[in-house]
Amino acid sequence: MKIDIITVVPEILNGPFSHSIMKRAQTKGLLEVNVINLREYTTYARAQVDDYPFGGGAGMVMMIEPLVNTVESLQKTTHYDEVIFLTPDGETFNQKMANHLSLKNNLLMICGHYKGIDQRFRDHFVTKEISIGDYVLSGGELAAAVLTDSIGRLIPGVLNDETSALSDSFQDDLLAPPVYTRPETFRNWKVPEVLMSGNHKNIDQWRVEQSLERTRLRRPDLLKD
């Protein structure tokens, strides 16, 4: 899978994909992430990419022309399955969307900044608008990193048995159960006995019960259907 990300602050995206599972996904050739600097595609003086809103009001608006130049240039060599605009007024991202997007070949993400982007770009180029939650970020970069990480780790072959996505919270609409490792006793705090029993039927049952209990207490909304 290829994920191309258009941004005016490419520096923010240098770190998130250079380590751990995202790094391995790229090394294995299963994921390619390209960060594209919008300013390199503008034909305006001083690499301008934003301007005052028509009708007045606070904040700047990202201009349509640099965005279209960038997208159309990329589209010469890549067919995108989705053109995703990261914006707080988009559909709230969840695991189901991550699963769905992990099956695509090519994704283009556009990070918003300032007061937003010219609506005509959204109308004519964007196929999906996604938010990562009900709070406001300074720009879409961190949201693009969140999507790329959650989608990238689901690509077949990225995770091994040890890091399997099957036991993740949300994968079956349940939160993950508690986990423990050595030592068996720390400051007189003991690991639940069942985990030390070697009885895998009991262990599996305990984990399901814990998942259900945790979900009931913390996220009862997940159990409604």
Cα torsion angle, 23, 85, 100, 132, sign? positive
Q: Which is nearer to ligand 6GU, 36 or 143 (CB)?
A: 143
Q: Where in 11-40 is the site for ligand 6GU (CB under 6 A)? A: none
Binding mask of the shown chain, residues 33 to 72, with x at each position contacting ligand 6GU by CB under 6 A: ----------------------------------------
Does 145 sit near ligand 6GU (CB under 6 A)?
A: no
Burial of 121 (0-12, 13-18, 19+ CB in 10 A): buried
Following CA atoms 153, 143, 89, 67 in sequence, which dihedral angle do they give, to the nearest 10 degrees?
Answer: -110
E-only strand ranges, the chain: 2-7, 32-37, 50-51, 61-62, 82-92, 106-111, 128-131, 185-186, 189-190
Amino acid in position 190: K
Check: CB of residue 108 under 8 Å from CB of residue 4: yes
**Cβ 142 to ligand 6GU shortest distance, Å:** 8
**Choices 14-22, 44-52, 130-138, 159-167 (CB under 6 A): range interacting with ligand 6GU:** 130-138
- Cis status of the peptide bond prior to 183, with omega within 30 of 0: yes
Among 143, 154, 159, 174, binds ligand 6GU (CB under 6 A): 143
Check: CB of residue 22 under 8 Å from CB of residue 31: yes
Does 136 sit near ligand 6GU (CB under 6 A)?
A: yes
Does 109 sit near ligand 6GU (CB under 6 A)?
A: no
**Cβ 12 to ligand 6GU shortest distance, Å:** 12
Does 135 sit near ligand 6GU (CB under 6 A)?
A: yes
Q: Which residues sit at the interface with ligand 6GU, rule CB under 6 A?
A: 86-88, 112, 131-133, 135-137, 139-140, 143
